[in-house]
A and B are shown apart, each in its own frame.
Chain A
Amino acid sequence: MSIIIRGARLIDPSKQLDQVTDLHIKDSHIQAIGNLTGVRAASDIDAKGMILSPSFVDLHTCLRDLNQIQKGTIASETQAAASAGFTHLCPSPDTQPCSDAGSVISMIKNKVAAAGFCDLLPVAALTKDLKGTQLSNMESLSRAGCIGFSNASYDISDNTVLLRCYEYAATFGLKVFVQAQDQQLGDGHMHAGPTATRMGLDGIPVVAETLSISRHLQFMQHTGVSGHFNQLTSAAGVALIRQAKAQGMNITADVGIAHLCFTDTAIEGYRSQYHVQPPLRAESDRKALLAGIKDGTLDAICSAHQPHESAAKCAPFAATATGMAIYDMLVPLIQGLVAAEDLTWALAIQALSSNSATIALGKTTSLAIGEEANLTLIDPSHPWTLNSSSQLSRGTNQALANQQLKARVKLTIKGGLTSYIM
């Protein structure tokens, strides 16, 4: 199959590329980049005004399925991911049943492969059933293709167990993913601040995050494990990561797109669509997270996609499920950040593609001749409305439902083949 994409703005920060030109894909690989006037292909796409980048890699997502098909199926959620420009997904191990066994991982892998929209880079459970008491079969799970180990949102409170998790991971050179939030201090419903106080909701203080980051950094330093922090939320958390990186520690970190776009005040009126864990924090934290992306303290942006059925969000705030369905609104959210001059397309693409790929795959995906074609084409000015007929995720917890949005993915190419076309 041969595709020519003409006149797009090619952005690949890993190659310092930002240029309006043409790109030719042939036999699943990038054949040529440059002025291709006169060259013909089976598929010829006029992409003037659009942005072409390496495809996106999601370091944290929930695909549901298995025992949670009311929230989403692997087919629906991986298709939604492809429509957001992703080709590779790292699902969190808090599946039902838990991703702590090779059999569960292969079941998910088979379903993802059968759907064909994305490739799976699973993160397996660090402890059995995420209970924080017994180590999972990390070496076997790594052989089964798991790229790292995480205890998802379940903190391991026993320091002895946590030390052993790190020691065992170090034995086999395995990566540990961390969602840093202290269990006891994290027992609340939103950021501890003026809004939580006024609404009478239990607050989660910033120290719930910083205490956990410091604790995990100590174990990483002690054992030499390479660690990745998922979903940072606070200015103080970013500062700790910055400091650890300056000391030469082998760590990386990401932020969820929601935390770059929203703050705790969005919850005003008990809006359960903004009930997420870890919580949305103050505007000063949001600014610090953006600064972290700009100076490289935060390597990546993840979706933290968590689809839910409508009943899960229809209750008094504290009783509602946490999480947002992100995939359908990811690109409009990025466009909003670019329009507000909070971020540039180049920074966003670096955080969603090359940096995420390096963390998950150990190599970057890039726009270079000879590379396998894994590409995302975005129309940044496409107007549309997010509603039940336009969304692909099964999740009804769409914070921007029924709003006029701008920007949409036009085309996603995975391994040279079209995985999504608008």
Chain B
Amino acid sequence: MSNLADLQLTKSGELRHFLTPEGLDRLMLERILDTADSFVVVGNQEVKKVPLLRGRTVVNLFFENSTRTRSTFELAAKRLSADVLTLDIKTSATSKGESLLDTLQNLRAMHSDMFVVRHGDSGAAHFIASQVTPDVAIINAGDGRHAHPTQAMLDMLTIRRNKGYFESLSVAIVGDILHSRVARDQIHALKTLGCSDIRLVGPNTLMPQAIDSMGVTTHNNMDSGIDGVDVVIMLRLQTERMDSAFLPSAGEYFRLYGLTTERLAQAKPDAIVMHPGPINRGIEIESAVADGPQSMILNQVGYGIALRMAVMSMAMSGQMQQRQAQANTPSSLTGKLRP
């Protein structure tokens, strides 16, 4: 989608917003992963700070509850030496009837440089980047069931650091695909990075309409779905799905789609197991697997900080370049010369 590329990149092709991997080319995704790799090293040092975002203001805008994503974004910004403001929007302006548009324009007027946005509506980050504050770098921290690009890219980082490549890999994504913003971005990222065997596993009630149009195969049977795969990505199952008739019971779900040691034996012997967290032990994954040698679940959390540092520093740099370029255009110069 060229319009998605136009929106996320500067005229010279640098990242300035990160809304979804859709529309970004392989080179850009690999640059994000390479930059993240370098920040993994920073995380292992005694002094974990780098001065890349010194003097910049990052505002975390969480319109939805989140602990993990919010804290890793906050840590990432702090490790980049930014000034960080975290707002719990539910209890502030919008509850007084202020529109999203007005809230954001007020924050922009406070000279914020970057918004990290989590919102319940699909397309919210896209709306902000395209129509509200295009000159503030927007990082999508999850919008509705549309996208969660930093989670998807940290999953790619986890795969690359374990497997080294994407081309001949078989990847199974298991569980609640319908409500998952991560699954859609994982599919876009995996395809762009060269993976051609992407399998979605779950019952029809949790499978989005026409999902095969995204170039994946769908499997109702877990055993055939993970047969011979290199990577198993388990998705979190929200317990409220049981109440809204998507599934009969947690017990039946675990029996059919839960990842157990026996089931994992269907995958390749060196297959890795991933999960965006938080995990439901005994509902989608057995403890023996979650804590077992093939599990990468805790590594993902650590990589999450590095990946977020990468996209924050890249988008901030792109946005600054864009501002600089605009400031140097003839029209703005004339404006400055006016008495």
Contact = CB atoms under 8 A, between A and B. Distances in A.
Interface stretch (B144-152, B155-163, B190-198): B144-152
Contacts of B146: 199-201
Interface stretch (B120-128, B283-291, B318-326): B120-128
Contacts of A114: none
Interface string A211-224: 00000000000000
Nearest to B207: A197
Nearest to A267: B123
B124 A316 contact: yes
Interface in B105-134: 119, 121-124, 126-127, 130-131
A203 B211 CA distance: 12
Interface string A306-336: 0000010011111100000000000000000
A317 B145 CA distance: 13
Given A200-B143, A318-B121, A319-B121, A270 B184 contact: no
Given A200-B147, A268-B1, A269-B3, A316 B119 contact: yes
Interface residues of B, number: 29
Nearest to B1: A268
A20 to B, nearest CB: 45
Contact of B101 (A194, A200, A315): A315
A319 B63 CA distance: 14
Contact of A316 (B1, B121, B208): B121
A21 to B, nearest CB: 49
Given A193-B210, A316-B127, A200 B122 contact: yes
A311 B98 CA distance: 12
A182 to B, nearest CB: 16
B121 A197 contact: no
B265 interface: no
A315 to B, nearest CB: 6
B209 A317 contact: no
B100 interface: yes
B99 interface: yes
Contacts of B308: none
B21 to A, nearest CB: 12
A196 interface: yes
A205 B131 CA distance: 30
Contacts of A196: 208-209
B2 to A, nearest CB: 11
Nearest to A201: B122
B213 interface: yes
A15 interface: no
Contacts of B181: 200
A207 to B, nearest CB: 11
A368 B99 CA distance: 55
Nearest to B123: A270
A194 B216 CA distance: 12
Contacts of B208: 196-197, 203
A269 to B, nearest CB: 5
Residue among A200, A317, A318 with most chain B CB within 10 A: A200
Nearest to B102: A311
A197 B214 contact: yes
B62 to A, nearest CB: 15
Contacts of B119: 316
B213 A197 contact: yes
A193 B209 CA distance: 6
A198 B215 CA distance: 11
Contacts of B124: 316
Interface of B: 1, 3-4, 22, 99-101, 119, 121-124, 126-127, 130-131, 143-147, 181, 184, 208-211, 213-214
A-B pairs, 7 with minimum CB distance: A200-B146, A316-B121, A270-B123, A200-B122, A194-B213, A316-B124, A197-B208
Given A199-B123, A200-B143, A316-B127, 5 more contacts: A193-B210, A197-B214, A200-B144, A201-B144, A315-B121
7 contacts: A194-B210, A196-B208, A200-B122, A201-B123, A269-B1, A311-B99, A316-B144
Interface of A: 192-194, 196-201, 203, 205, 268-270, 311, 314-319
